[in-house]
């Protein structure tokens, strides 16, 4: 895939650099704001290699690409002075722009921890399976050491998130890591465990444990970076190397312990509270998320729900009984619908795209290709997938299926849903019934004449 060629073709299809007011990207989409929206050539862009589909939300055009979007984005702005200036210039931001910038910052921070989370999560899932089939015992040294290593990541995941946050901000990475380590200072942890009252410069320090948390840390990195910019601007070069790190640390200590840490922790719990109220009635929210997941993905807000719901619940109760199980069933519904659409399709384009996107989701956990090529262009396919996802979510909730790691929705992710109170049999029942319902409904109700892939 030639990223530069793709980027240049997209650029020419939106009216060139001079027509671009803003360009950003998230995990899978290139996001553009244009001066003249009429110059956005939708059909031409959809024909570009690597482009899955396009969608317009408000005044923003979103080009769905997938995991390669960051490379295409870099090629998009490299050696383009106008776009580089747009990216680097500090603009007056609207509330909407600030909101999307903040969510992009959180997603970038989370992006740094996901690979390690998947790796250590798979180790924990494997340990659970080994216990269930009797290969290991909880008393064995092998089990204890593997569990200790896997748990260490979740205890310190905020430190890894700090690296992702610093990269997103082009901030001082060692200083960002130190901001995170400050929350895990042995002396501080010991005082928190003892319940001892503390203060710094006479300001009360709240006894809060920051294990398994990342939001307070990435907010600390954000504030630290703002202060660092000020100090770099106003400190004389002759003393900058000495006083910049010293002042940063001294200022951030009370900010972290007295303001940022406690307030962000409290806010995280407050955001999760409406969802934890349903902890004994998980079927309500699993049904809702099973129903709405394709829509959340389509509008690009699933990442926000993931942050507010899943990551908060992981840090508080150790699992997510709502969003991830509901979404898991929804993804299996989309796989079944896309597969049947492909099997029944008469034209080769619809057949190949539908089957390939079904396999991409089934094995790779990437739902956007299926949603933007199969579902978005066919109301019947969309309706069947949403109904089947809701039924599957209801079953998952009734069976108390839980997700113990924040992962995607592919077949390979099944072990992450196996744990205490969520046996493998319950997980398989939920996704199997979801898939069967979606497959049968699509087979009966969908006609191959229905338009799925738009001809260009």
What is the 3-class SS of the chain, one letter each residue?
CCHHHHHHHHHHHCCCHHHEEEEEECCCEEEEEECCHHHCCHHHHHCCCCCCEEEEECCEEEEECCCCHHHHHHHHHCCCHHHHHHHHCCCCCCHHHHHHHHHHHHHHHHHHHHHHHHHHHHHHHHHHHHHHHCCCCCCCHHHHHHHHHHHHHHHCHHHHHHHHHHHHHCCCHHHHHHHHHHCCCHHHHHHHHHCCCEEECCEEECCCCCCCCCHHHHHHHHHHHHHHHHHHHHCCHHHHHHHHHHHHHHHHHHHHHHHHHHHHHHHHHHHHHHHHCCCCCHHHHHHHHHHHHHHHHHCCCHHHHHHHHHHHHHHHCCCECCHHHHHHHHHHHHHHHHHHHHHHCCCHHHHHHHHHHHHHHHHHCCCHHHHHHHHCCCHHHHHHHHHHHHHHHHHHHHCCCCECCCCCCCHHHHHHHCECCECHHHHHHHHHHHHHHHHHHHHHHCCCCCCCCCCC
Provide CB contacts within 8 A for 406, sequence distance 6+: 114, 117, 306, 310, 311, 314, 320, 324
Q: Round to whole Å and give the CA distance between 435 and 411.
A: 12
| Catalytic annotation present for 26 | yes
For residue 340, give Cα distances in angstroms to 128, 151, 369.
Answer: 35, 41, 16
**How far from chain centre, in Å, is Cα 192?**
31
Q: Work out the burial of residue 92: count CB atoms within 10 Å of its CB; fewer than 13 is exposed, 13-18 middle, 19 or more buried.
A: exposed
Residue 234: both structure tokens together? 């106003």
Taking a C-beta distance cutoff of 8 angstroms, is the pair 220, 255 a contact? Answer: yes
Partnered with residue 32 across adjacent β-strands are 23, 61
CA angle in degrees (0–180, nearest 5) for 207-271-169: 80
Active site positions, annotated: 26
């Amino acid at each position: 895939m030639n990223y530069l060629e793709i980027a240049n073709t997209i650029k020419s299809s939106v009216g060139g650099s001079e027509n671009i007011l803003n360009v950003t990207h998230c995990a899978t989409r290139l996001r553009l704001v244009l001066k003249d929206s009429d110059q956005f050539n939708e059909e031409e862009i959809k024909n570009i290699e690597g482009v899955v589909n396009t969608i317009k939300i408000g005044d923003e055009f979103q080009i769905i690409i997938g995991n390669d979007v960051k490379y295409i984005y870099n090629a998009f702005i490299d050696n383009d002075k106008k776009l580089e200036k747009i990216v680097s210039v500090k603009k007056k931001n609207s509330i909407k722009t600030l909101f999307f910038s903040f969510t992009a910052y959180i997603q970038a921070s989370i992006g740094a921890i996901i690979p390690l989370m998947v790796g250590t999560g798979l180790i924990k899932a494997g340990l659970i399976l080994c216990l269930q089939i009797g290969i290991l015992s909880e008393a064995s040294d092998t089990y204890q050491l593997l569990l200790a290593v896997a748990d260490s990541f979740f205890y310190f995941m905020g430190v890894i998130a700090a690296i992702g946050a610093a990269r997103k901000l082009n901030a001082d990475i060692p200083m960002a890591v130190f901001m995170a380590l400050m929350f895990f200072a042995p002396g501080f942890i010991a005082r928190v465990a003892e319940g001892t009252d503390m203060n710094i410069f006479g300001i009360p320090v709240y006894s809060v444990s920051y294990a398994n948390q990342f939001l307070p840390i990435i907010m600390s990195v954000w504030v630290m970076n703002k202060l660092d910019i000020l100090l770099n601007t106003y400190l004389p070069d002759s003393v900058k190397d000495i006083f910049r790190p010293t002042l940063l640390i001294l200022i951030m200590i009370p900010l972290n312990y007295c303001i940022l840490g406690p307030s962000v922790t409290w806010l995280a719990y407050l955001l999760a509270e409406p969802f934890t109220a349903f902890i004994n009635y998980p079927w309500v929210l699993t049904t809702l998320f099973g129903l709405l997941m394709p829509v959340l993905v389509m509008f690009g807000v699933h990442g926000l729900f993931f942050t507010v719901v899943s990551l908060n619940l992981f840090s508080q109760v150790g699992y997510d009984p709502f969003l991830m199980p509901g979404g898991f069933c929804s993804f299996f519904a989309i796989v079944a619908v896309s597969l049947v659409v492909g099997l029944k399709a008469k034209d080769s384009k619809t057949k190949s795209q539908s089957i390939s996107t079904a396999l991409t989701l089934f094995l790779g956990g990437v739902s956007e290709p299926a949603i933007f090529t199969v579902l978005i262009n066919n109301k019947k396919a969309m309706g069947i997938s949403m109904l089947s996802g809701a039924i599957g979510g209801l079953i998952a909730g009734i069976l108390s299926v839980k997700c113990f790691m924040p992962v995607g929705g592919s077949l390979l992710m099944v072990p992450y849903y196996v744990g205490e109170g969520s046996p493998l049999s319950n997980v398989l029942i939920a996704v199997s019934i979801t898939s069967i319902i979606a497959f049968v409904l699509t087979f009966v109700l969908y006609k191959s004449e229905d338009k799925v892939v738009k001809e260009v």
